[in-house]
Amino acid sequence: MKGVLLVNLGSPESPDPKDVKVYLDEFLMDQRVIDLPSFLRTILVRGIILNTRPKRSAKAYKKIWWDEGSPLIVLSKRLLQKMEEKVQLPLALGMRYGKPAIQKGLQELADKGVTEVLLVPLYPQFAMATTETILVLAESLRQESFPQMEFTTLPSFYNHPDYVRVLSQSIQESLQDKQWEHLIFSYHGVPERHIRKSDITKSHCKIDGQCCQTASPAHQYCYRHQCFETTRLVAEYLDLASDRYTTTFQSRLGLDPWLQPYTDKTVAKMAKSGVKKMAIVTPAFVSDCLETLEEIGMEAVEDFEEKGGEHLHVIPCINDREDWVNVMSRWVDEWAMSEPVSS
């Protein structure tokens, strides 16, 4: 029997500093998030970061927390519920960090007799710290607790025409009747070394402005290429002039070089250069979360206005839009009708 597990990032159980600390510990101790040797990662995370970061992050979570709970969890559940109305297969939800855990989602499917699982990481682009860590953990859990299951993974969909159409139309609708001079595509940042580590050719990724535009097998796992390609495809769909949009990267941590240009510096630069009305979209996130609602929706907006801008319009993620629900449901149906995985 076939079933589907939707997997998103996760969230603290509450905006209380104690719950945030538990969540950050699980998140930051992941070797694919902070890819240092275990003892150095432990010193950095548990000896330094977790002594101060939970209180600061808790304040940010409190700003965006809904009555129903964490926005990311609520929106992920809404997506699941809407898909359940359209597909016949059992569906479950899991979070890479926090609850509901991936283990719980797999157990729900197993209890229904599911032996073939479609894993759906809710990330359009592939990255070591997002899709890869989900797949590694899921496979580990399969071997330990669900040996009867076989997994298929939904490929990264950053360039799928259906996704590009939904994202483009969401931008178009959000900007309707809005005045804007420039559109920023802000993606979650990753350290540059992650890009090089994910290079299956071990030689293509130079991060020099050219490698992402030169065809290579490395692009299958290159987050930087996939982000720029997402922007290019959406700009093409919306017929945007090249001087009216910019690709940037947000949410950096530590002192090592991360993907550039940085969102915060770009927003400030645009305001100082005289741009008064600007828009920003966050295509690395399917669901609105702390990084979109607080870092962009509050911090970036405030900074833009402080630096001389008049209005920064934040475009919502595609969340549980009806057209996105239809696309996801169709992808599931197409997989459901495919040949069973051979044993």
Look at residue 343 in the predicted model and tell me its pLDDT. 33
Percent of the chain with pLDDT over 70: 99
CA distances (Å), origin 224, targets 53, 120, 147:
27, 21, 35
Average pLDDT, the chain: 95
Instruction: Label residues 156-170 b or e (16+ Cβ within 10 Å = b).
Output: bbbbbeebbebbbbb
Mean pLDDT score, 54-63: 98
Inform me whether the pLDDT recorded for 164 exceeds 50.
yes
Where do the domains of the chain lie, and which CATH numbers do they carry? 2-156+322-336 (3.40.50.1400), 161-314 (3.40.50.1400)
User: How do residues 84-99 score in pLDDT, each as one tens digit?
Assistant: 999 999 999 999 999 9
Cα 119 to chain centroid, rounded? 15
Rounded to an integer, what distance in angstroms lies between the CA atom of residue 190 and that of residue 230?
17
Mean pLDDT score, 32-42: 95
- The two three-digit tokens of residue 260, written as one number: 């550039």
Candidates 276, 277, 278, 274; CA nearest to 263 is 278
The reported pTM is 0.94
Inform me whether the pLDDT recorded for 339 exceeds 70.
no
Mean pLDDT score, 109-114: 98
User: How do residues 189-232 score in pLDDT, each as one tens digit?
Assistant: 998 889 888 888 877 888 877 888 888 888 888 999 999 999 99
Q: Is residue 101 a contact partner of residue 8, using CB atoms and an 8 Å limit?
A: no
Inform me whether the pLDDT recorded for 125 exceeds 80.
yes
Which run of H or E residues covers position 150?
strand 150-153
Residue for token digits 């009305």?
A: 277
CA distances (Å), origin 286, targets 80, 185, 302:
13, 14, 24
Residue for token digits 């979070």?
A: 95
Look at residue 340 in the predicted model and tell me its pLDDT. 55
Inform me whether the pLDDT recorded for 342 exceeds 70.
no
Could you give the 3-state DSSP secondary structure of residue 340?
coil
User: 192-195: long-range contacts (C-beta < 8 A, 24 or more apart)?
Assistant: 192/256, 192/257, 192/258, 192/259, 193/35, 193/256, 194/35, 194/127, 194/128, 194/129, 194/223, 195/222, 195/223, 195/224, 195/259
Let me know how many helices (H) and strands (E) the chain has, helices first: 13, 8
* Angle at which helices 133-145 and 102-111 cross, to 10°: 50
Rounded to an integer, what distance in angstroms lies between the CA atom of residue 337 and that of residue 259?
40
Question: DSSP assignment of 212-234, as one string?
Answer: GGS--GGGGG-HHHHHHHHHHHH
Q: Is the peptide bond before 316 cis (omega within 30 degrees of 0)?
A: no
Look at residue 299 in the predicted model and tell me its pLDDT. 98
User: How do residues 321-332 score in pLDDT, each as one tens digit?
Assistant: 999 999 999 999
